[in-house]
């Protein structure tokens, strides 16, 4: 293995069931397909959410895939960037809101 | 400040032909389409892909649409243009060839006459031709593929919306996106702003307004190496954005896939997207779209009167097969029974929901 991440590997994702646990892979992809279909949220809105999640989870495969999907769905640069900002600000907020624990603990320990 | 993004997407000012670029040559384009080294992968032949569905040889169903390319001259030089059109192109249909079109129209019945270019309005005999068609058939649907900016390009064109209305022309116009940046990156600086003004002029004439009977359709095509998806969803987004921001109304949005020929092929090669893009098209092959490709109901007429299966084949110089290759030898039964010339660019018409001059087909 020369590289941990290889963009060509994204194309192999759909075939993970061939290696093992075929039924589990099939269940997952069925669920995946169902979740991203138009529903109460449009496929376009879901793709923007997925783009934000891809960044928060820092998955290069997903960033590649959902950049293409959001472009295909006609999302503008501002929409794509705002989605990433939602992810970023959530990640920052999640970090910062934990400071309340630090503050509680500090208050417990400090005179 | 010019960012890398802006330099990359700067629009060409000359056609490939004027630049004497290798891709200005149609034979070389076909070679590139079949070059596994350039593709970096082995892709199935289009012919092999359609054969299992009983579509090879591909044949017309019925010729309903008579599409005339009245010339390659254009006021724009869009970076994706499959015609390689521009102000430097001199191939323009003469009045004599237009007369030959009219002779065919007098003899044969079509459902739609579709006028394209270049900017068709730049042909000096454009209005004469439309009046001629209307004189033969007052009801037939006539489409003009108007690039919008031409209306503002010169005061001689300012009254085009009125002329279109007078002859009940259906206007089909490209607007690659509802934001300026993505439209201008494909069509040139300032194109979005002028397109918006032109759309407002067409709206003022009644085009795209409910109950007017004057149809204004827009064409979306991706500004880059990705495929279109979801015509209905995009139409909603376009309608919302154009109405709230600019008060613009239109009828339908047609999603068109960029066909990998001419300037778009050049873009794919230069940007390093060629192999990936072709693979995307092949993987998205849809047999339903394949059975509805537009060459099955359309005949494309070139500026010099030669006949083609579609505007793409026209630009690749792939004339219709058979004996009836020119307006002067027009033979409807021969043409209806001909075999359509196909090659690897045809994958552009069969990906996903398919693509035609009228948008999705599946
Ligand atoms: S895409 Fe249309 S408007 Fe643009 S250069 Fe080609 S013919 Fe002209
Ligand atoms: S490119 Fe032309 S010939 Fe090929 S499938 Fe499309 S319309 Fe038909």
Nearest CA in chain A to B225: A68
Task: Determine the pLDDT at residue A3.
Answer: 86
Query: What's A97's domain CATH number?
Result: 1.20.1290.10
In a domain, A81, yes or no: yes
Q: What is the CA radius of gyration of chain A?
A: 19
Structure tokens at A6: 């290889």
Domain boundaries, chain B: 4-349
Task: Report the domain count for chain A.
Answer: 1
Among the partner-chain residues B179, B226, B238, the one whose CB lies closest to the CB of A71 is: B226
Among the partner-chain residues A42, A72, A76, the one whose CB lies closest to the CB of B227 is: A72
Residues of A with a Cβ under 8 Å from any B Cβ are 38, 42-44, 68-69, 71-74, 76-78
Q: Kindly state if the Cβ of B147 falls inside 6 Å of ligand 1.
A: yes
d(CA B330, CA B66): 12
Residue of B60, B290, B295 with the most ligand 2 atoms within 8 Å of its CB, for mutation: B295
Report CB contact under 8 Å: A73, B224. Answer: no
Q: What is the DSSP string of B164-229?
A: HHHTTEEEEEE---SSHHHHHHHH-TTHHHHHHHHHHHHHHTTTT-TTS---EEEEE--SSSS---
Give residue A53's domain range: 22-110
Nearest CA in chain B to A42: B233
Task: Determine the pLDDT at residue B205.
Answer: 97
In a domain, A2, yes or no: no
Is the domain defined by B4-349 classed in CATH 3.40.50? Answer: no
d(CA B344, CA A86): 42
Task: Determine the pLDDT at residue B91.
Answer: 97
Task: Determine the pLDDT at residue B201.
Answer: 98
In a domain, A84, yes or no: yes
Report CB contact under 8 Å: B233, A76. Answer: no
* Residue of minimum CA distance from atom 7 in ligand 1: B118
d(CA B355, CA B296): 13
In a domain, A5, yes or no: no
In a domain, A48, yes or no: yes
| Chain A residues within 8 A of B253 when measuring between CB atoms | none
Find the A85 Cα to ligand 1 centroid distance in Å.
36
The complex's ipTM?
A: 0.81
Report CB contact under 8 Å: A74, B233. Answer: yes
| Chain B residues within 8 A of A76 when measuring between CB atoms | 177-179, 182
Q: Is B143 helix (H, G, I), strand (E, B) or coil?
A: strand
Find the B113 Cα to ligand 2 centroid distance in Å.
18
- CB environment B162-190: b (16+ within 10 A), e (fewer): ebbbeeebbbbbbbbbbbeebbbbbbbee
Among the partner-chain residues A44, A77, A78, the one whose CB lies closest to the CB of B233 is: A44
Task: Determine the pLDDT at residue B240.
Answer: 96
In a domain, A65, yes or no: yes
Report CB contact under 8 Å: B179, A68. Answer: no
In a domain, A54, yes or no: yes
Percent composition of chain A: helix, strand, coil (DSSP 3-state, to 5): 75, 0, 25
Find the B149 Cα to ligand 1 centroid distance in Å.
10
The list of chain A residues with pLDDT below 70 reads none
From the first residue on, what is the mean pLDDT of each consecutive set of 10 residues in chain B (362 residues)? 42 91 96 97 97 98 98 96 97 98 98 98 98 97 98 96 98 94 91 97 97 97 93 94 97 97 97 97 98 98 98 98 97 97 98 94 92
pTM of the model: 0.92
Handedness of CA A86, A87, A88, A93 (dihedral sign): positive
Measured from the Cα of B117, ligand 1's closest atom is 7
Find the B220 Cα to ligand 2 centroid distance in Å.
19
Give backbone dihedrals phi and psi of A36, rounded to 5 degrees, phi first: -85, 0
Q: Kindly state if the Cβ of B12 falls inside 6 Å of ligand 1.
A: no
Among the partner-chain residues B178, B181, B229, the one whose CB lies closest to the CB of A73 is: B229
In a domain, A1, yes or no: no
Measured from the Cα of B309, ligand 2's closest atom is 3
């Amino acid at each position: 293995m020369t590289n941990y991440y290889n963009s060509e590997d994204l194309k192999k994702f759909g075939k993970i069931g061939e290696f093992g646990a075929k039924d589990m892979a099939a269940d997952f992809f069925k669920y995946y397909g169902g979740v991203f279909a138009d529903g109460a949220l449009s496929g376009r809105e879901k793709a923007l959410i997925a783009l934000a999640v891809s960044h928060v989870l820092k998955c290069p495969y997903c960033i590649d895939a959902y950049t293409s999907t959001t472009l295909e769905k006609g999302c503008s640069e501002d929409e794509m960037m705002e989605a990433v900002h939602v992810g970023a600000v959530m990640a920052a907020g999640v970090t910062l809101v934990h400071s309340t624990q630090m503050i509680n603990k500090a208050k417990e320990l400090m005179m | 400040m010019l960012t890398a993004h802006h330099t990359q997407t700067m629009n060409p000012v000359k056609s490939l032909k004027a630049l004497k670029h290798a891709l200005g040559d149609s034979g070389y384009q076909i070679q590139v389409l079949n070059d596994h080294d350039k593709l970096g992968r082995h892709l199935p032949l289009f012919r092999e892909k359609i054969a299992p569905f009983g579509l090879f040889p591909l044949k017309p169903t019925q010729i309903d649409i008579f599409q005339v390319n009245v010339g390659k001259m254009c006021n724009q030089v869009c970076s994706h243009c499959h015609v390689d059109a521009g102000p430097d192109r001199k191939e323009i249909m003469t009045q004599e060839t237009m007369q030959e079109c009219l002779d065919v129209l007098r003899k044969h019945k079509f459902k739609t006459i579709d006028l394209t270019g270049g900017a068709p309005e730049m042909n000096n005999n454009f209005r004469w031709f439309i009046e001629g068609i209307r004189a033969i058939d007052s009801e037939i649907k006539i489409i003009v593929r108007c690039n919008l900016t031409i209306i503002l390009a010169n005061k001689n064109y300012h009254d085009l919306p009125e002329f279109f209305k007078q002859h009940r022309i259906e206007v089909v116009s490209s607007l690659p996106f509802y934001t300026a940046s993505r439209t201008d990156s494909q069509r040139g600086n300032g194109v979005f702003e002028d397109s918006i003004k032109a759309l407002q002029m067409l709206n003022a004439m009644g085009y795209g307004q409910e109950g007017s009977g004057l149809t204004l359709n827009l064409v979306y095509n991706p500004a880059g190496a990705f495929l279109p998806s979801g015509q209905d969803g995009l139409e909603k987004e376009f309608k919302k954005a154009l109405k709230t921001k600019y008060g613009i109304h239109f009828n339908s949005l047609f999603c068109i896939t960029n066909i990998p020929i001419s300037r778009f092929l050049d873009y794919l090669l230069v940007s390093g997207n060629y192999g990936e893009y072709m693979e995307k098209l092949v993987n998205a092959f849809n047999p339903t779209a394949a059975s509805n490709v537009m060459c099955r109901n359309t005949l494309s007429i070139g500026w010099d009167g030669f006949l083609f299966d579609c505007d793409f084949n026209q630009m690749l110089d792939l004339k219709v097969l058979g004996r009836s290759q020119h307006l002067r030898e027009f033979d409807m039964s021969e043409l209806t029974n001909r075999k359509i010339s196909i090659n690897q660019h045809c994958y552009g018409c069969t990906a996903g929901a398919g693509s035609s001059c009228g948008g999705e087909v599946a």
